[in-house]
Amino acid sequence: MTAARRFPALALIVLGAVLMVLPLLIVLDNAVKSPADYSAHGPLSLPHGIHLDALKDFWNRVDFGRVLLNSVLISGSVAVAGVVLSVLNAYAIGIGRIRGRTWVLAFFVLANVLPQEALVYPLYYLAKQVGLYDTRLSLVIVFSVIQAAFGTYLLSSVLGAFPREIIEAARIDGAGSWQVLWRIVVPVSRPTLGVLLVFFFVWTWNEFLLPLVMLPSNDNQTVSVALGVLQGQRLMDATMTNAAGLLGALPALAFFLVFQRTLTRGIAVGAVR
């Protein structure tokens, strides 16, 4: 490919990267402005000095350290539990070849397309009955099952194409079903599992409706709920709104950047397959 042909592709990549980063830069720009600076020069001007008052005020107003801990615990637990459930289900469906495999997969597809609004009241009533309402454990259980539905559907197709010769050779050597799963299937499927882990964490982090309903107390609120509820209860200026958005996005962005190599490797392996 000549340099002339590579230039349009490179320009498109650079343009796409700029468009992706630009909203975050605008939020960062406005988060470090003073309200007077924002009012005088607008949202697109560079800040005339670094002012961290909006960040400090928002942090103290919602007790962001506690809210952040809640979100990290819930999202991390859901990511791990969702991947484990997905592996167990997909192993039984994709490699175990259980009866009614098609209908089981259809059930998981249905679970993926079911709107959360339809689940709110049944989950609320069930959590009340078993004493899990307003606990982080209730969200961990609910979202682990929801995320595992997607993970099971995805991994079933991956494990369905798993080389049978490897599994048969392991069984000839005396390996049981659990040994085949944890010593052969899981290590080989690690890139795909890493992708699911990242997706499950980010998806759970961004959830709003179910955490809003299931965690009414301030002590158990997640980041997304704290942002929405605070804006509805109290008046915030534009700088504090941007500060809230920045603090809410940075942890998920940091998690994504830390695991971006795992994500890239998993996508590349899937493309090769």
> In this predicted model, what pLDDT tens digit does every residue of 122-170 receive, in sequence order?
999 999 999 999 999 999 999 999 999 999 988 988 888 888 888 888 8
Cα-based angle 254, 257, 259 (whole degrees, multiple of 5): 110
Q: Is 150 a member of any domain? A: yes
Cα-based angle 200, 231, 246 (whole degrees, multiple of 5): 50
Q: 265: domain CATH number?
A: 1.10.3720.10
Q: Is 203 a member of any domain? A: yes
Q: Is 97 a member of any domain? A: yes
pLDDT score at 113: 84
pLDDT score at 231: 65
3-state SS string over 139-159? HHHHHHHHHHHHHHHHHHHHH
Half-sphere exposure of 125 (CA within 13 A, CB side): 5
Q: Is 29 a member of any domain? A: no
pLDDT score at 44: 85
Q: Is 30 a member of any domain? A: no
Q: Is 5 a member of any domain? A: no
Q: How far apart are CA 60 and CA 157, in angstroms?
A: 47
Cα-based angle 57, 58, 60 (whole degrees, multiple of 5): 65
Domain of 189?
Answer: 84-273
- How many domains would you assign to the chain? 1
pLDDT less than 70: residues of the chain: 1-10, 17, 97, 230-236, 263-273
Q: Is 232 a member of any domain? A: yes
pLDDT score at 271: 44
Q: Is 219 a member of any domain? A: yes
pLDDT score at 266: 62
The amino acid occupying position 137 is: L
